[in-house]
Amino acid sequence: MNMSLKNTLKMAIKSILSNKMRTFLTMLGIIIGVFSVIVMVSMGQGATASVTQSIEGMGSNLLNITLTDRTIRFSNDNLSELSMLEGVHMLSPNINWVAPVKYGLNNEAGTSVVGVNENYMVINGYTMMTGRLINPLDIENRNKVVLLGSEVSESLFGQFNPIGESISLSGIKYTVVGVLEENENTLFGDNNNMVLVPYTTGMRQFRTNSIASITIQGTDAASIDKTQSKIETYLMTLYGTDTYRIFNQEQLLSTLNEITGVLTLLLGGIAGISLLVGGIGIMNIMLVTVSERTREIGVRKAIGARRSNILFQFLIESSVISGIGGIIGIMLGILVNRIISTAFEIPISASMQVILIAFLFSLFIGVFFGMYPANKASKLKPVDALRYE
């Protein structure tokens, strides 16, 4: 029967505590390493989650078609033919302008104006706070009516009810018929800082004579790829290849996830390097410790310590340093995650998995970099160690 783990641990902690400053500085390398792994990976995962969420928020059964060849444009026939295709539920033109918006003295320069039809709100899942939607009659009659995004409404009207008021878009008067509920912002811009007008009205006012971009809602997410290829066939036979670009949210999602995944790995990797540097710091200090304590090792062997006792004593010392450093690093990381989350309003947090991996990795670093010095210590011959001054 040889000495117990409990006693080895006690011994290690005692010697660690006997040189607090040195232990702390050594630990700092690990603390910083683990801390940055936690924060970096959390930020990477947070970014991934928020990108995913904002894309999924737009609905995964949406397709965006933009004609890239400037010589061709969608005709009204195209629109109705596209909407008849199997798998297409509904579609809306999606024409973007930028214009100053005014109400009395209040002025919002550079507001995004989107020309849409009656389906647009439904396709994008927007809801009304008050008022009515744009309807087919508005489209047909080119009515000068406008729906306000929540931010535009707020800055032009404040707490007042804008319904029925008249605002000017690039100098032309429009009647406000509705206000949108506040929306989650997506990757593609500020959904609250925009106004919607009937596309026919917008096209006339801004002298746009053709439609280059439409949004299509498929019947369901599962068949969206099939629907996309139907649309592609239709466009290809009409206009030829390389004349359009179809923007599929599923594809976008997986591409972006890949990018953010690589980014997370990269960030974690860089942080991991600092953890490695911390490990080298441990090795360095353990080597110093071993040579300082050569005589102690000799004494311990002389009174009956085995090679394995000495090995474990030093290994446990380095692992306790790295393990405690790891725990402190994790706690700091979690704290900073909280601070970043509240300060920048992005939800980042370390998953249990990341915490566990970071902790195990820091322990591993302690064992790995402690191995060489500990082995060196354990191999000392008792006489030689005792002769050491």
Partner 1 sequence: MILLDKVTKTYIMGEIELTVLKGISIDVREGDFFSIIGPSGSGKSTLMNILGCLDVPTSGEYYLDGQEISTYSENDLAKIRNEKIGFIFQKFNLLPKLDAFENVELPLIYRGIKSKRRKEETEIALDSVGLYDRMHHKPNELSGGQQQRVAIARALVGNPSVLLADEPTGNLDTKSGNEVLDILESLNRKGRTIIVITHDFEVADRSKTEITLRDGIIVNRKVK
Q: Which residues in the 367-386 window bind partner 1 by CB under 8 A?
A: 381-383, 386
Site for partner 1 contains 253 (CB under 8 A): no
Site for partner 1 contains 309 (CB under 8 A): yes
Site for partner 1 contains 313 (CB under 8 A): no
Contact (Cβ atoms closer than 8 angstroms) between residue 91 and residue 61: no
Cα maximum dimension of the chain: 104
The burial of 207, by beta-carbon neighbours within 10 Å (0-12 exposed, 13-18 middle, 19 or more buried), is given as: exposed
144 vs 301 by CB, closer to partner 1: 301
Contact (Cβ atoms closer than 8 angstroms) between residue 356 and residue 333: no
- DSSP, collapsed to helix, strand or coil, labels residue 214 as strand
Nearest CA to 253 out of 44, 41, 49 is that of 49
**How far is CA 261 from its chain centroid?**
9
Site for partner 1 contains 306 (CB under 8 A): yes
Binding part of the chain for partner 1, among 2-10, 124-132, 260-268, 317-325 by CB under 8 A, reads: 2-10
17 vs 352 by CB, closer to partner 1: 17
15 vs 61 by CB, closer to partner 1: 15
- DSSP, collapsed to helix, strand or coil, labels residue 178 as strand
Nearest CA to 365 out of 32, 39, 44, 43 is that of 32
Contact (Cβ atoms closer than 8 angstroms) between residue 242 and residue 68: yes
Residue choice 13, 122, 163, 299 for contact with partner 1 (CB under 8 A): 299
158 vs 304 by CB, closer to partner 1: 304
CA angle 299, 302, 303 (to 5 degrees): 90
- State in angstroms the smallest separation of the CB of 295 from partner 1: 7
The burial of 283, by beta-carbon neighbours within 10 Å (0-12 exposed, 13-18 middle, 19 or more buried), is given as: buried
Residue choice 21, 109, 303, 343 for contact with partner 1 (CB under 8 A): 303
- State in angstroms the smallest separation of the CB of 303 from partner 1: 5
The amino acid sitting at 6 is K
Q: Which residues in the 279-298 window bind partner 1 by CB under 8 A?
A: 295-296, 298
- Rounded Cα–Cα distance for residues 302 and 217 (Å): 82
- Rounded Cα–Cα distance for residues 312 and 78 (Å): 78
73 vs 307 by CB, closer to partner 1: 307
Residue choice 304, 343, 345, 352 for contact with partner 1 (CB under 8 A): 304
153 vs 313 by CB, closer to partner 1: 313
102 vs 293 by CB, closer to partner 1: 293
Residue choice 233, 307, 335, 342 for contact with partner 1 (CB under 8 A): 307
- DSSP, collapsed to helix, strand or coil, labels residue 351 as coil
9 vs 357 by CB, closer to partner 1: 9
Q: Which residues in the 13-72 window bind partner 1 by CB under 8 A?
A: 14-15, 18
Site for partner 1 contains 132 (CB under 8 A): no
Binding residues (CB under 8 A) for partner 1: these are 1-4, 7, 14-15, 18, 295-296, 298-309, 381-383, 386
